[in-house]
Each structure stands twice: as C-alpha cells, then as structure tokens.
Amino acid sequence: MIIGDDGGRYADLADLVEGILDRCDDDPACIADALNALEPGTRNDILSSDLLNAWQVFWYYFQTYPGDEQVEFLVFHSAGELLRGVPMGDVGIFKLTFIVKAGEPCILIEDDIIEIARFKGLSSWSDAKKFIENEG
C-alpha cells in the first residue's frame, strides 16, 4: 500500500487500477470500458496519473491502433507525462506528440524546426492522420 499526504487517495486509485488491469489483462478496449464505468472525477484522476501508460490513455480517447512504432513510444511513458506531451515517433517527415490538458486530447505535428499543426479533441488523431496524408 502506498502512503502519502493525500489522505490515501492515491492508494485507493492504485488499488482500483490494479483491479482493472488484473481483470483486463492489458487489453486497452477493456481498460477503456472499465474507465468509462467510473465516476468522472475518479476517471480523470486516473487518466492523468502515473497509474496508466500513455498508450492506454491514447486508446481511451481514440479507440484505434496508431501503428507499431507509435504504440512502442506510448507504452514506455506514463499517463502523467501527457500534460507536457509524449513523443509518438515519426511519420514521414513529421514528428508526432500526444498531449492531454484538462481532459482534452491533442496531437501535435512538428518538423525538425517548428510546430506545423495542432489538433484538439476526440477527432484529433483522425484529423492528424488526414493532415499527414495530404501534406506528407
């Protein structure tokens, strides 16, 4: 059990997530369904914590498989890192970053020098893919 100065909230969340992961066996669709069944405040606390990885959060928002390289990048970063952005690797000439701020997912597209495009909301992944197909 983890003990902190948050009145046991983190320990409770950790126990809850451990149960979800045991039940779902790392299946992102099952994890997303379990998260959807939670009270919104609890769900948001988990989605922004280090209790999940960025891949699990990506699936929660977009319910799609972005590609092997992208999943490999996302799985090695915690969900807590999404506030500042998690790299998703390169697609063609573009670098992708997944960000979640205030519960809103965002896909950032950059080249080697500057930000090229930023897409926000639940359609941000599909919007980013369309952009890459048209610009790449």
How many other CB atoms sit within 10 Å of the CB of residue 5? 7
Query: Which has more confidence, 2 or 8?
Result: 8
Q: What does residue 133 show for φ and ψ, rounded to 5 degrees?
A: -60, -40
pTM above 0.85, yes or no: yes
Enumerate the domain spans of the chain: 6-135
Reported as a pLDDT band with limits 50, 70 and 90, residue 10 is confident
What pLDDT does residue 7 have?
A: 57
pLDDT higher than 70, residue 111:
yes
pLDDT higher than 80, residue 2:
no
Residues forming beta bridges with residue 89, ordered by sequence position: 96
Quick: pLDDT tens for 13-40: 999 999 999 999 989 999 999 999 999 9
Chain centre distance of CA 90: 17
Quick: pLDDT tens for 59-97: 999 999 999 999 999 999 999 999 999 999 999 899 999
Query: Which of 43, 67, 68 lies closest to 57, judged by CA?
Result: 43
pLDDT higher than 90, residue 49:
yes
